[in-house]
């Protein structure tokens, strides 16, 4: 049985200003406990604990490490680092959700910006030395990260590659780029 409900979601994170994030004291639920690959509703207790801790500590979002101590993802988003002309994101084996926005961003980065994309384990300290960081998700879209654990990323400003990807993504999901119209399902008539 499938149940679908609708409500006004509003803005989940600020996609223009960027988010201040904190590495959580909570670990991402292990794929061998509750698969992190899917949006399993019960598993969101893990996200709720991390997000609440981050908000109560004065941050906008939490970044969870997996049980091996490597970066997994945000409480409701996948994560990307930019280093030079390269995008780096934790691979599927890192106990992450297989996000559709993550997949879309990888396609846009490779096809439109000719960026190299590396899917591999990411250590916490690599976040601190990244040129840019952003989060991806259906709700978060592409949200820049401007601070991690009180360390500024790109001087606390939204980076140029993040901006380019945001523009491409917003145009693609609004049907403004012909070659990505296949991603969309119209739900109304003109
Ligand atoms: C834990 C988690 N990771 C990543 C994502 C991003 O997935 P998607 O791009 O499919 O929305 C979500 C979205 O809800 C999520 O809850």
Q: Are 9 and 139 in contact (CB under 8 A)?
A: yes
pLDDT tens track for 71-126: 999 999 999 999 999 999 999 999 999 999 999 999 999 999 999 999 999 999 99
For the question of residue 39 being annotated catalytic, the response is: yes
Residue 44: the pLDDT is: 96
Mean of the pLDDT values across residues 25-50?
A: 96
Pocket test for ligand 1, best of 43, 91, 95, 97 (most atoms within 8 A of CB): 97
Catalytic residue among 39, 110, 152, 176: 39
Task: Inform me whether the pLDDT recorded for 189 exceeds 80.
Answer: no
Report phi then psi at 142, rounded to 5. Answer: -120, 105
Q: Is the CB of 36 under 6 A from ligand 1?
A: no
CATH label, 19-180, candidates 1.10.600.10, 3.30.1360.30, 3.20.10.10, 3.40.50.20: 3.20.10.10
């Amino acid at each position: 049985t499938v149940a679908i409900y609708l409500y006004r979601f509003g803005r989940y994170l600020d996609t223009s200003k960027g988010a201040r994030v904190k590495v959580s004291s909570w670990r991402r639920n292990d794929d061998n406990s509750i698969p992190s690959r899917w949006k399993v509703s019960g598993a969101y207790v893990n996200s709720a604990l991390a997000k609440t801790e981050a908000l109560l500590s004065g941050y906008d979002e939490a970044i969870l490490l997996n049980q091996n101590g490597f970066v997994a993802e945000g409480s409701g988003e996948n994560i990307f680092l930019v280093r030079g002309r390269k995008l780096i994101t934790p691979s599927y084996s890192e106990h992450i959700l297989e996000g559709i926005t993550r997949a879309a961003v990888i396609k846009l980065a490779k096809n439109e910006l000719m960026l190299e994309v590396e899917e591999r384990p990411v250590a916490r300290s690599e976040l601190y030395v990244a040129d840019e960081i952003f989060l991806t998700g259906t709700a978060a879209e592409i949200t820049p990260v401007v601070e991690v654990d009180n360390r500024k990323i790109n001087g606390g400003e939204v980076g140029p590659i993040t901006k380019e990807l945001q523009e491409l993504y917003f145009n693609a999901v609004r049907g403004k780029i012909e070659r990505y119209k296949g991603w969309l399902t119209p739900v109304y008539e003109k």
